[in-house]
Structure 1
Amino acid sequence: MKYVNEFRNGDVAAKLARVIANEVESDRDYRLMEFCGGHTHAIFRFGIQDLMPENVNFVHGPGCPVCVLPKGRIDNAIKLVQDHNVILCTYADLVRVPATKQMSLLKAKADGGDIRMVYSTQDALQIARQNPNRQVVFFAIGFETTTPPTAVALQVAQQEGLNNFSVFCNHVLTPPAMRHILQQDGDQSANIDGILGPSHVSTIIGSQAYAFCATEFHTPIVIAGFEPLDVMQSTLMLIRQLNSGRVTVENEYTRVVTDEGNRKAQALMQEVFELRPIFEWRGLGMMPNSALQIRDIYAEWDAEQRFAIEHITSSDVKSCLCPAILRGLNKPTDCKLFGTVCTPENPMGACMVSSEGSCAAYWSYGRFRQPDTATAQQERTA
């Protein structure tokens, strides 16, 4: 298949749904975590959960780097604007995420802060060139997918001697988060049977970066594309692994992802960044070697060193289940704040405002309007 519409073919989806229904074992439940929020939105946008048998359920994972960024890092960025009068450049996803006391970058901008939404690191570099008398800070955020462009920006800044540009680095790594979720026990365990692995992240790090899921945690994983047929085919692949007792890493997204990933991008990341000894994740807590920091050879363009940024302890809104939702322990509809106090216009947590957040998916596609059990059953059997 070559075109997007081919991966959204309703007839093919119906056939896949029938195959899945025929292959599931009625005496077992299948709990499959989609790690990436892009999959969560695809599942709800295209009604994939409604095509599944009742004993196949998707468990929502960390979602996206915006969701797992702790409030303290946003507080840091706001202080940069307020205390140092910098021009802060960032991606649009981040501006409405609530920080301490429900402050946000958008509110800081309304208060007079010079905060600009950009589409790429190159936009931020150009702003620095156009404002030589102002310090320009790029609020870098993302999993491995968006890390190489940040590395390029740092290289360009060094090559040009662009001394009024720096990066506030918040790049985090997917495998450590996955490991953290899989090793949880007791009440902290999401009881995951299989994982729909990230697609865009995997274009960079490759499918074999997740081998530990199978070898250490005996959990099958399938790298899944974002289109609805990708998700359904990957679900079928996981079900077949579970039914047969196989545990391995499989790659459904072969049109983009390879075993080894993008070696050039990996080398670029290795040159510019190094592992942080420890970093805080919203919902997952402090995790060692789970994030990146800028190497000393680029220290002159490291905002954390230039402005002596200090760690700010984060705390979530009381009763907000965003941390538990990010670990797959709860669904958005389990949260008492969801749809009442917490809405897209007044978000209590990042999950409601991020374009890949679980709460945003439930809200956007009406998942919170659950039909009664009898009606749902009638619709399934119709």
Structure 2
Amino acid sequence: MTEQTFEGRLFGPGLPGTGAEAVGSWNGQGCLRVSVEGTPRTELLAENPAIAAAGFNAASLRITWEDDGGAYAFVIEKDAARATCGVSAPPGIASRILSASGSRECLERRFRFGGVLLALFLALPLILIGVFLLNSDRVADWAVKRIPHEQEARLGDLVLAQTRLQMKILDSGPAVDAVSAIGSKLTTGSLHRYRWFVADRPDVNAFAAPGGVVVVFSGLIRSAGSAEELAGVLAHEVAHAELRHSLRGMVKSLGLRALVSLLTGDVSGGVFADAATRLTELRFSREAEREADDEGLRRLVKARIDPNGMLRFYMKLASEGRPSPPPLLSTHPATGERLERLRREVAGLKQKWVPLPIDLTSLK
């Protein structure tokens, strides 16, 4: 029976460092015969050689042995040559070749698995962005539920500090006392520790930051026709704070950066500082405005403050012929549908209201 041959490269004494082209075959005694032209020893015989996978990704078969001439290695790289080497080898040798091939296949599987993991790792940011964009509301709700009230209060401190850099904030005085007196009636039993401030700005605006920081602009106080109208605005802003709308809006505006901050525990600084500077520009959805109207109305009724003040103030702002809406309406749009709904709700209330003992004319 003709011996089957297979090509490879032979490394050893007297051979170039890059090896020499050689041809191998198995003889009937289970020895490897290696023939190489142009060398002092044109044929070598390897008895009981060691066999292992070699090369990058274990893609080669390495057969090594020693004889009187020194240590040799016959490396088979081509797939066809490795296959011929395996099928033509004696049974005992063939099993060792098969074992070496198995380690190669195992390593290849590891490389493939590693490649998949690397691809997933590289694609993870895009996947997260896609998930967030498709489920931004649910992701924001999930994130907000995991921010404790004490952390939310620190966010409020951050917003207040950023606001002080942008405008003059009054911590005390008649206007602050009036806002605080009304606000305290609307926040009885709240988990937040409310703090009331007045911004010395002509804008008709107000906002409630996370954690109970409420800022009313002096322009809004001057625009209010009564303490009840001011109370209506405060009730609406308090409702946004209680329902955590501002916090939710900050999380949505920050996107994945908010989730990273949550995972690292940094929810009172860092990326949230960026959103804090834009809180007064935060726009609420129609659903959020409807929820704030309902909750604000409930708080006015509970405090026995006439809710007609809320309706009058928003109707007055909506009907004023301004070239552009005041900031309060820019972020809290008083649509006709919303005003009509509020009008129906207020009309259905029949209880007696207690007038607020606050004269706003002295504050204007």
TM-score where L is the length of structure 2: 0.22
| Richer in helix (by share) | 2
